[in-house]
Amino acid sequence: MEHYKQLYTTSDDLPSQWAGHTFEQCTFQKLSPTPTMLAGANFINCRFEQCMLIRCAVKQTQFNDVAFVGCAVQGVDFGTCNPFGFHADFQACQLDQSIFLNRRLVKAKFVECSIKSVLFIRCDMTGALFDRCDLELTKFDDNTLNQVDFSTSFNITLDPDVNRLKKAKFSLYSLPGLLDKHNLIVKS
């Protein structure tokens, strides 16, 4: 079933299971779907605003040009969703304990997000923006981070030996997090 240019503010307007449904240019506001509701759905050019998507299963879910604004997207395994056309941006979201595995996050925007204890593994994040994000205990492993802008984010710890970082931007305050594995003490 196709849904086009709809505004959803209550779960009453939505099908109980979204698998096989395509939502295009739709906006979802203040929804708290069940943990399995999003699995198998297709979201194209959609917006989620102030939604509670905690531990939602997104197996085979398509996120193509989707914006999450003010949402709790905690504990979500984006590595299980459909990789075709995957592109998502996050603003003022809590992404804590989520997983991005083998995702193409080229030019993705993470703005004013809590990204604590998140796993980014084997992702292409070329040109991505992490603007004023808290990256405490977040793990970056085997990623392409070329031209990523981390310059305003904080609590960054990543190993330059296991990530590609050509022309990535960091603030001087991030330097200790780049040298963490060497157990150095950096003073200002």
Query: What is the helix (H) or strand (E) element at residue 120, kind and residue range?
Result: strand 119-121
Is 85 within 8 Å of 105 (Cβ atoms)?
no
Does residue 164 have a pLDDT over 80? yes
Q: What is the mean pLDDT of residues 95-122?
A: 98
Percent of the chain with pLDDT over 70: 95
**Vertex 142 angle, CA 137 and 143, to 5°:** 85
Q: Which domains does the chain have, with CATH numbers?
A: 1-90 (2.160.20.80), 95-188 (2.160.20.80)
pLDDT in tens, 5-61: 999 997 667 777 789 999 999 999 999 888 888 999 999 999 999 999 999 999 999
Both tokens of 15, joined, read 């099908």
Q: Write down the pLDDT at residue 185.
A: 65
Contacts of 35 (CB under 8 A, 6+ apart): 55, 56, 57
Q: Write down the pLDDT at residue 177.
A: 75
Q: Write down the pLDDT at residue 14.
A: 75
Q: What is the mean pLDDT of residues 70-97?
A: 97
pTM comes to: 0.93
Backbone angles phi and psi of 63, in degrees to 5:
-115, 100
Does residue 179 have a pLDDT over 70? no
Contacts of 48 (CB under 8 A, 6+ apart): 27, 28, 31, 66, 67, 68, 69, 71
Does residue 184 have a pLDDT over 70? no
